[in-house]
Amino acid sequence: MTNPTQTQAVLHLLKHAGDEGITALDALKEVGTMRLAHHVHVLRGEGYDIATKYEGKNGKRWGRYILRVEPTLWGNR
């Protein structure tokens, strides 16, 4: 079996995170990518419905990405 691409690894991480979602720090630790927003952009282009929830603490803000719906043959409705 070949190694998954980072985008495939991010999708796997999103699927297993469920409603908790993932942050850039999660992606860095688990996948080794510092470009989570790029991978989310690619997945959205493939039809995945990924929500962004903004969080913050001590004057810092970050996004948490949550996979809502996977694409279907007929599109999401």
Mean pLDDT value of segment 44-68: 96
Each residue's pLDDT tens digit, 28-46: 999 999 999 999 999 999 9
CATH classification of the domain holding 16? 1.10.10.10
Q: What is the domain count for the chain?
A: 1
Q: Tell the burial category of 20 from Cβ atoms under 10 Å away from its Cβ (0-12, 13-18, 19+).
A: exposed
Q: Does a structural domain hold residue 28?
A: yes
Phi, psi for residue 54 in degrees, rounded to 5: -90, 135
SS3 content of the chain, % helix, strand, coil (to 5): 40, 25, 30
Q: Does a structural domain hold residue 61?
A: yes
Q: Which domain holds residue 34?
A: 6-69
Position 1 scores a pLDDT of 42
Q: Does a structural domain hold residue 1?
A: no
